[in-house]
Structure 1
Amino acid sequence: MHECPDFSECDLLLVDDDRELRGDMAQYFASKGYRVREAANGTDALVETERQSFDVAVIDFAMPEMTGIALLEQFKARGADMPVVMLTGEATVSLAVEAMKLGASEFLSKPISLRELERLVKKAAAAGRLRRENQQLKAVLRQQRSGAPQLVGGSSAMEEVFRLISRTAGSVRPILIQGESGTGKELVARALHEASGLADKPLVIINCAALPEALLESELFGHEKGAFTGAVAAKEGLFEVADGGTLFVDEIGELAASLQAKLLRVLEDGSLRRVGSVKERRVRVRLIAATNRDLAKEVQAGRFREDLFYRINVLTIALPALRDREGDIERLVRHFLGFEWKIEDPVLRLLTSYSWPGNVRQLINALERAKVLADDEWIRAENLPPEIVRSAHEQPLSVPGQSVGDLESVSRRHVEATYLRMQGNKSKTAKALGIGRRTLYRLLDKYGIEPLDQGVEPTGE
């Protein structure tokens, strides 16, 4: 039997109106390393699932106001996809069949054994993780077959992103992706869609910054014939096109106030009206939004609705800037160049030392430029955008508080950057550095800087 390899990563929701039993369960599982949340009734449980996702839920069947079965129905309707262990007084066949249809995977009759409950929780958690891994594998295969760009990274910052994608993909609650321009927010949205249960449904994408307000309203909500000049026929909006699937709204921070109100209404009750129509239409869409703005500050400044912010900020994935992804630049370079291209080590070090203000998008553009300008299968410094080589040359030779070892590294980078900027010409490099050629040879050898094939140069100082 598979078990959670690290209980500190297992989130458990306990739902039971029996305060004493719930407290005993919470204390037992917390002592085993689980992260436990409690709910005294179905309403409280729904609030908890709005706040976060869980690996497993333990639910009592016989609760006042909302039974365990009714709660399972609400979970399913709201997309709270998690394995469930049902606690029952009498586990009848009809109850088991109904509960299994709604997501319950294990049953335990009262009075319960905490040890037996733990065994069932582990079993349910393992099954849930296996299902998520299968969804992720299918998503990867679909992406590979489609040839669509993929998220690449092995840094701790990106591992956290992958973990959040895994944990949130099964939910249909709104997700907000935050990050600088060029970090790959659309790729995260595609990964979330592909790893979800909606992968066979439409994924519709719109960028709020790319359209004026009037046209954006028509694109999102549709319009009727004659609604405005040029509306020669009725048109479905993207919410209708995405019905049953996912709508990715990029740069949502650019949305005008009037459209924010209409978007909020769709998210609250699924209803919308086309431009020029009095007829209500209902849709069921999972919304993924993205922004490079700090929406909390936008709310404070009065530019973004507070109620909409909290509505779309149920689950948040923060994408790190490329400069904060330790080790990922080399991985991305190797990935985007492919096996048919080669890159000199000094050039690779030059790329990894650059700050990449435009993030992954800028890196991809720089590599595409290098491919076009390359004379053969080798990527060299002269093939890179000049600002990248120039930035390495302009790095300071010393930083207050640095150790001798640090200064040695800075010196090596300065020599290497200058050498690359001079395209491997040792005479020009020595002159730019203000040193003799013999000194330059010693430094190149000391720092392990490989010579570039630039032909025969004149000798002598």
Structure 2
Amino acid sequence: MQQESATTMAAAEAGEFNWQAHSVLIVDDEEGMRNFLERTLKRRCGMVEAAADIVQAEALMARLHFDLLILDIALPGKSGIQWLHELREHGFAGDVILITAFADMDTAIGALRGGASDFILKPFRVDQILNSIKRCFERAGLARENFVLRRELAERSSDLLGLIGHSPAIQQLRGLIRRVGQMPSTVLLLGESGSGKEVVARALHQMSPRAQRPFVPLNCAAIASELIESELFGHVKGAFTGASETRNGLFYYAHGGTLFLDEISELPLAMQTRLLRVLEERKLRPVGSEREVPVDVRIIAASNRDLAAEVAAGRFRQDLYFRLAVVELRIPALRERVEDIPDLVQHFMTLLSAQLGVAPLALSHELVTRLAAYAWPGNVRELRNLVERSLILGGFPTAMLAAAQREPVAPAELDLTLEEVEKRHILRVVEACGGNKAEAARRLGVSRKTLDRKFAEWGERQPGDEPVRGVTPA
């Protein structure tokens, strides 16, 4: 075996590739080869373990996660190729490099057909095995990035909510993002639905040292409670009914980057406990698995509810709240930065007209004044929806302009709380939609689930309220 030169080491470690983010299991009954590979890789990779046979290897894999196996073909009891077939049948998705001193073309073809990532003959050079390992790690990284890109394309709507504007509130928020983004700390974003929490989370990610790694968003309110653990942590084949194959969770795809947990107040209490454990130990256990997987992920969480009040009500764990709220940022509602409305309308008009293939609409001073006078309970998302509908219809409809004109405030209404004003507006929109809550939610720029929760909360606090005229459970 050749000695490893300083030049080889420098070449293998050049560039932006992060060896420390990966784990390797070496399986070889030849002690010299096993020790050589272990010594070589421990200087680079985050975790390296070695086994002399498949029994030892299976014991290690039962409790630890490995991104890559370096597997000798000629092993006592069972060949490496036979074990490779078994691993693939049981859902192991990691890379496998097969090594052997005795092989012919048929063996090589059988190895690659069995799911091997590479096939190397002994004796090999140091740079030969290092380049093969690096290619495996880079392929795994590309698979993660492709998964993230597919999710981003499927959730493009949030990309349109840019941090547009020049108001003092937005300028102050930008300053905080520049400062907080560079820190590794967990961040909690608080703000109303549609105010742009995901945009702020993306900006924090772009300002961080993790900017070149994945940003993975998840709306906790959009996933059924019985599926959220599998969505985050992944599962092994056969873990539950319908788990026909092993599946990685979002923590896996966010490895080295940022995981954004929106509407985190919607997490069930049991899941809050599991998430807290992952944040504290930096390890997770896929559903149905006995092994722990190390994770390197920055968490940014967001909620449109007052999490301190949720803790007091027993709906959110206090220890998780403190763990998430290392840094707490509040996102201003659109009504708190009305001077940004002209910039936002122009931004959405330019962006959406190009996407829809229609000409932009003219913006009059009267229109902008009326839009600035509206309360915008759906915030920036509602404004974007209004611009998109107007482009599709070829103009801002009269009814829409009327809705954007603030009605004179009666003296008695000056004593109303913001919550009461919100309730009155939502009820008016629902009634205007003939009781169709799905349509009302769309017009308000919120989810149907959010609207249902509002009605449930009002029912709990004001059981004597009369039903809204014409409201049906659409």
TM-score w.r.t. length of structure 1: 0.51
1:341 aligns with 2:361: yes
Change (3 A) 1:236 1:393: closer
Match of residue 171 from structure 1: 183
Q: 1:324 to 1:277 in 2, by over 3 A?
A: same
Does 2:412 align with 1:392? no
The DSSP-based 3-state class of the residue aligned with 1:278 is coil
Corresponding position of 2:297? 285
**Is the aligned partner of 1:363 residue 2:375?**
no
Aligned to 1:316, what secondary structure does the other structure show? Answer: strand
SS of equivalent residue, structure 1 residue 198 = coil
2:342 to 316, 330, 336: 330
% same residue: 47
Q: Report Cα offsets for 1:142-197 as digits up to 9, x if no partner.
A: xxxx9943211211111121111000111121101110000011111111111211
For each residue in 1:197-228, what CA deviation from the matched residue of structure 2 results, as whole angstroms up to 9, or x when unmatched?
Answer: 11110111111100111111100011111000
Aligned partner letter, 1:333: V
8 A Cα contact 2:341 2:371, kept in partner:
yes
Match of 1:213, SS state, is coil
Instruction: State how far apart, in whole Å, the 1-side matches of 2:349 and 2:228 are.
Output: 37
Unaligned runs of 5+ in 2: 1-155, 352-359, 415-474
| 1:218-245 deviation per Cα after TM superposition (whole angstroms, max 9, x unaligned) | 0001111100000011111111111111
Helix, strand or coil at the partner of 1:327 = helix
Match of 1:224 in 2: 236
Query: Residue type of the partner of 1:338?
Result: T
Match of residue 197, structure 1, among 209, 215, 220: 209
Q: Which residue of 1 aligns with 2:106?
A: none
- 1:393 and 1:302, CA in 2 relative to 1: closer, same or farther beyond 3 A? closer
Q: Distance in 1 between matches of 2:413 and 2:243?
A: 65
* CA 1:315–1:373: 2 relative to 1, 3 Å: same
1:151 alignment partner in structure 2? 163
- Shift in CA distance, 397/221, structure 1 to aligned 2, threshold 3 Å: closer
> Residue 224 of structure 1 aligns to which amino acid in structure 2?
V
Q: Cα 1:226–1:393, aligned 2, differ >3 Å: closer, same or farther?
A: closer
CA drift of 1:380 comes to: 4.3
Instruction: Output the CA distance in 2 between the equivalents of 1:335 and 1:242.
Output: 30
- Residue of structure 1 in register with 2:274 after alignment: 262
Match of 1:235 in 2: 247
The aligned amino acid for 1:389 is: A
Following superposition, the deviation at residue 391 of structure 1 comes to 5.5
SS in structure 1 at match of 2:227: helix
Measured against aligned partners, the alpha-carbon deviations of 1:27-68 in whole angstroms (never above 9, x if no partner) come to xxxxxxxxxxxxxxxxxxxxxxxxxxxxxxxxxxxxxxxxxx
**Maintained 8 Å contact 1:344/1:380:** no
Instruction: Supply the distance in 2 between the matched residues of 1:250 and 1:179 (Cα, whole angstroms).
Output: 11
Residues 185, 319 of structure 1: 8 Å contact kept: yes
Distance in 2 between residues matched to 1:356 and 1:193, nearest whole Å: 28
> 1:162 matched to which residue of 2?
174
- List per-residue Cα deviations over 1:118-148 (Å, max 9, x = no partner): xxxxxxxxxxxxxxxxxxxxxxxxxxxx994
| 1:318 equivalent in structure 2 | 330
Q: What amino acid maps onto 1:294 in structure 2?
A: D
C-alpha spacing 1:393/1:179, structure 2 compared with 1 (3 Å)? closer
User: How far apart are the structure 1 equivalents of 2:347 and 2:178?
Assistant: 22
Q: Which segments of structure 1 move beyond 3 Å, counting only runs of 4 or more?
A: 146-149, 396-401
Report the Cα distance in structure 1 between the residues aligned to 2:258 and 2:246, rounded to whole angstroms: 23
Q: CA–CA distance in 1 between the matches of 2:262 and 2:369?
A: 33
Q: Which amino acid aligns with 1:284?
A: D
Tell me if the contact between 1:260 and 1:308 (Cα under 8 Å) persists in the aligned partners: yes
Q: Using the alignment, how far apart are the partners of 2:189 and 2:346 within structure 1?
A: 26
| Partners of 1:156 and 1:387 in 2: CA distance | 28
Residue type at the aligned position of 1:392: Q
Counterpart amino acid of residue 294 in structure 2 = R
8 A contact 1:354–1:388 mirrored in 2: no
| Deviation string, structure 1 residues 420-448 (Cα, Å, up to 9, x no partner) | xxxxxxxxxxxxxxxxxxxxxxxxxxxxx
Q: Which residue of 2 aligns with 1:352?
A: 372
- Quick check: 335-344 or 221-230, which moved more? 335-344
Aligned equivalent of 2:44: none
Are the aligned partners of 1:226 and 1:233 in contact in 2 as well (CA < 8 Å)?
Answer: yes
- Within 1, Cα distance between the matches of 2:413 and 2:383? 30
Are residues 399 and 275 of structure 1, via their aligned partners in 2, closer, same or farther at CA, if it must alter by over 3 Å? closer
Q: 1:244 to 1:346 in 2, by over 3 A?
A: same
2:257 to 234, 245, 248: 245
1:395: Cα distance to partner?
Answer: 2.5
Aligned-pair CA distance for 1:373: 1.2
Quote how far apart the aligned CAs of 1:393 are: 6.5
Displacement of 1:341: 3.3
Paired residues, number:
249
User: What's the CA shift for 1:338?
Assistant: 2.4
Once residues 399 and 211 of structure 1 are traced to their aligned partners in structure 2, the CA distance between those partners, rounded to angstroms, is 42
* Aligned CA distance change for structure 1 residues 269 and 393 (closer, same or farther; 3 Å): closer
Secondary structure at the residue paired with 2:183? Answer: coil
Residue 182 of structure 1 corresponds to 194
User: Which residue, 218, 223, 226 being the options, matches 1:206?
Assistant: 218
Once the two structures are TM-superposed, the CA of residue 250 in structure 1 deviates from its matched residue by 0.6
Residues 1:363 and 1:226: Cα distance change in structure 2 (over 3 Å)? same
CA RMSD of aligned residues (A): 2.2
TM-aligned CA distance change 1:221 to 1:397, over 3 Å: closer
Q: Distance in 2 between matches of 1:365 and 1:312?
A: 31
Secondary structure in structure 1 of the residue aligned to 2:328: strand
For 1:117, the equivalent position in structure 2 comes to: none
- Tell whether the 8 Å contact from 1:221 to 1:272 is kept in structure 2 after alignment: yes
Alpha carbons of 1:189 and 1:323: their partners in 2 closer, same or farther (altered >3 Å)? same
CA deviation digits over 1:73-110, x for unaligned, max 9?
Answer: xxxxxxxxxxxxxxxxxxxxxxxxxxxxxxxxxxxxxx
Distance 1:346 1:308, change over 3 A: same
Which deviations, in whole Å up to 9, do the C-alpha atoms of 1:385-407 show, x marking residues without a partner? x3551452732488999xxxxxx
